[in-house]
Structure 1
Amino acid sequence: MDLSIPLIAAITATFFVAGIVKGVTGMGLPTVAMGVLGALLSPLAAAALLLAPSFVTNVWQLVAGPSLRPIARRLWPMMAAIVVGTLAGSALLTSGDTALTTAMLGAALMLYAAYTLLARPFRVPARLEPWLSPLIGGATGAVAGGTGVFVIPAVPYLQSLGLEKDDLVQALGLSFTVSTVALGLALVWRGALPLGDLALSGLAILPALAGMAAGQAVRSRISPAAFRRGFLICLLLLGLEMAARPFL
């Protein structure tokens, strides 16, 4: 990346805003970071920048819950498949075809925002979970490896398992943490993670944590549901612009 003061300011502001979204809604930092930075940089560069802030904030979410061991035992097939899928899918992200990866990133953002806004909750029967979890994990890893977005289809699937609220938050933290680590390993494996990008990613932890603290402070003063709806509409429009960019 050709760093400049305006670009550094944009990166700092992006992670601060992404932290606010996570502080208010409990999720969304990697998605916001990929959406905004993917519009300014290549998706590969954006993915490299989100590694450290995503890891730190999601580990925080992961260890804060009460049921890590039973959740990990229940979801380990999904987590293992996420790693495999991410390693395979990273071939797209590191291919150098910026137009294609930007369009794919936009499509992933649109799909997530539209599904979350419009779809009705559903429940996965327990008998289907043993074979469905690896399939969902593999698909999530392929999308994460190709676009840097960790949420499709992992988030709708985890929400369908009937977990208690605290357990769901912890399960999401586990999924996002594993996805972040897998993406980092995939970029290193493919020689696509310069040390300079990794150092800048480490510096982005500070605005992300500051944003999370700000989001948690204002959470009781605003409607999280209304805030989340506005965030998803913005994400949908951003994804539409990115997906359409190669055709403009």
Structure 2
Amino acid sequence: METQLLSHGMPVLAGIAAVFVLAGLVKGVIGLGLPTVAMALLGVMMPPAQAAALMVLPSLVTNLWQLAAGPGLSGAVGRLWPLLVGICLGTWGGAGLLDGISAADARHGLGLALAIYAGLGLGAWSFVLSGRWGRVLALPVGMATGVVTLATGVFVVPAVPYLQALGMTKDELVQALGLSFTVSTVALAFGLADSGVLSVPVLGASALALLPALLGMALGQWLRGRVGNRAFRLCFFVGLLALGGHLLLTA
């Protein structure tokens, strides 16, 4: 895979770098979207398998950076650990629940759910989970997120609506998203490694995409620091709407 990537001409390599800069910038601003943006744009340059291989390290490292840059990692872990345990359980144990469901149907359903949620958010509708309900729902929400991750490769639903309903500040929310996505990525990577999909050449190719993704994320975080809470909320829900629309159109 690494040799195949290096065999592309300079215009294609420059295009790949630009894709990861843009995808990292989107993630830096709203806290999510790197895999979706990158996969959508890389799909016009290479087969899906190569595009997916490039995503492994950029996704993992940018998620780690995102959670480490927040206001209090230990507090976030202490608050969200039931959600994280549920994500692992759902990712590792949910394969049997997906029998009979096609990948296209799963992505279509996820895209529709995201679009509806984003539309409600843009319409100023919101809900807040109390401390008690936040604790009660954490484990089942995590397990459902793990199952959805298996079906679609996207870590967003229902974890993102759940986290957004906890009433966090924009920086706390972005950190919580990074923590959730990191655990989801690691859990999925263990499953892929166990099935023999991940290999050293795949990781080598993915490492080449890491630097532009980090550059884009640094730019996105710089922009987020200059965006007010209201503008961030608008960017957040517009980003979710774009993600949902992309899933619907490509399902």
Q: TM-score, normalised by structure 2?
A: 0.78
Structure 1 residue 175: Cα displacement: 0.6
> Which of 170, 174, 177 lines up with 2:179 in the alignment?
174
Q: In structure 1, what is the equivalent of residue 248 of structure 2?
A: 240
> Which of 92, 103, 106 lines up with 1:87 in the alignment?
92
> Which of 103, 106, 122 lines up with 1:104 in the alignment?
106
Distance 1:35 1:196, change over 3 A: same
Structure 1 residue 236: Cα displacement: 3.7
Structure 1 residue 233: Cα displacement: 4.7
Q: Which moved more, 1:134-143 or 1:102-111?
A: 102-111
Q: State the Cα deviation string for residues 196-231 of structure 1 (Å, max 9, x = none).
A: 222222211111112123334555489656655654
Q: In structure 1, what is the equivalent of residue 77 of structure 2?
A: 72
Q: In structure 2, what is the equivalent of residue 60 of structure 1?
A: 65
Structure 1 residue 123: Cα displacement: 1.3
Give, in whole Å, the separation in 2 of the partners of 1:107 and 1:89. Answer: 17
Give, in whole Å, the separation in 2 of the partners of 1:229 and 1:88. Answer: 31
Q: In structure 2, what is the equivalent of residue 153 of structure 1?
A: 158
Distance 1:225 1:58, change over 3 A: same
Distance 1:84 1:35, change over 3 A: farther
Q: State the Cα deviation string for residues 145-164 of structure 1 (Å, max 9, x = none).
A: 22110111101101111234
Structure 1 residue runs without a partner (length 5+): 244-248
Distance 1:192 1:167, change over 3 A: same
Structure 1 residue 23: Cα displacement: 2.4
Q: In structure 2, what is the equivalent of residue 21 of structure 1?
A: 26
Q: Aligned pair count?
A: 239
Q: Which moved more, 1:145-154 or 1:18-27?
A: 18-27
Structure 1 residue 239: Cα displacement: 1.8
Q: State the Cα deviation string for residues 11-43 of structure 1 (Å, max 9, x = none).
A: 43332211111222233223323444568644x
Q: State the Cα deviation string for residues 160-191 of structure 1 (Å, max 9, x = none).
A: 11234433222222111111111111110121
Q: 1:203 is matched by which residue type in structure 2? A: L
Distance 1:218 1:172, change over 3 A: closer
The share of aligned pairs that are identical, in percent, is: 47
Give, in whole Å, the separation in 1 of the partners of 2:221 and 2:172. Answer: 19
Q: Would the aligned equivalents of 2:53 and 2:205 in 1 still touch at CA under 8 Å?
A: no
Q: 2:191 is matched by which residue type in structure 1? A: A
Q: 1:108 is matched by which residue type in structure 2? A: L
Q: State the Cα deviation string for residues 75-94 of structure 1 (Å, max 9, x = none).
A: 1111011112112356899x
Distance 1:218 1:73, change over 3 A: closer
Distance 1:230 1:127, change over 3 A: closer
Give, in whole Å, the separation in 1 of the partners of 2:96 and 2:195. Answer: 8
Q: Secondary structure at the match of 2:154?
A: coil
Q: In structure 2, what is the equivalent of residue 32 of structure 1?
A: 37
Q: Would the aligned equivalents of 2:31 and 2:178 in 1 still touch at CA under 8 Å?
A: no
Q: Which moved more, 1:162-171 or 1:7-16?
A: 7-16
User: Does 2:116 align with 1:114?
Assistant: yes
Q: TM-score, normalised by structure 1?
A: 0.79
Distance 1:24 1:188, change over 3 A: same
What do you get for the CA RMSD once the two structures are aligned? 3.4
Q: 2:161 is matched by which residue type in structure 1? A: P
